[in-house]
């Protein structure tokens, strides 16, 4: 997330994004959750919704503002999800678009989500969880 530029979004820290990923999907890039009320689905690590942001071919009156297929949000490589998130956060609601951010991250000390991360230095691979390679820097 840091490498892809989420730490550079004005008003939000890298901790905000990691917290959001934790509470939206538990860091699961393949997470999908159906919303029966509007017949949309949330996709991927940031649970990006098919009503507004991506095309799944099933959601009525979908907008596809990010101009992507929703299945692209389910890949272990989170580049597409991050690029779409950058578009979402430009809207007036900002990160309030994510219910998990509003309920669990907003106004809290989100630095706890990145406290043990060393974001500069030599990269070391720790292994993978849910298809995501976890790394730290030494």
Point out the catalytic residue in the list 16, 42, 56, 72: 42
C-alpha–C-alpha distance, residues 42 and 9, integer Å: 22
Token pair for 61: 């009156």
Length of the chain (residues): 138
C-alpha–C-alpha distance, residues 137 and 95, integer Å: 27
Handedness of CA 50, 54, 55, 61 (dihedral sign): positive
> Residue 26 in contact with residue 14, Cβ under 8 Å?
no
Active site residue 24: yes
Active site residue 72: no
- CB proximity list for 45: less than 8 A, separation 6 or greater: 21, 24, 25, 27, 28, 29, 31, 73, 78, 81, 132
Q: Which residues are catalytic?
A: 24, 42
């Amino acid at each position: 997330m840091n490498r892809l530029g989420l730490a550079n979004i004005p008003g939000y820290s890298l901790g905000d994004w990691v917290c959001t990923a934790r509470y939206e999907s538990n860091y699961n890039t393949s997470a999908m959750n159906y919303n029966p009320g509007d017949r949309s689905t949330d996709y991927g690590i940031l649970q990006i919704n098919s009503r507004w942001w991506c095309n799944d071919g099933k959601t009525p009156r979908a907008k596809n503002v990010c101009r992507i297929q929703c299945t692209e949000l389910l890949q272990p490589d989170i580049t597409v999800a991050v690029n779409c998130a950058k578009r979402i956060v430009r809207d007036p609601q900002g990160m309030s678009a994510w219910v998990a951010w509003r309920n669990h991250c907003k106004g809290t000390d989100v630095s706890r989500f990145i406290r043990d991360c060393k974001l500069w230095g030599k990269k070391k691979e720790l292994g993978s969880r849910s298809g995501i390679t976890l790394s730290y820097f030494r």
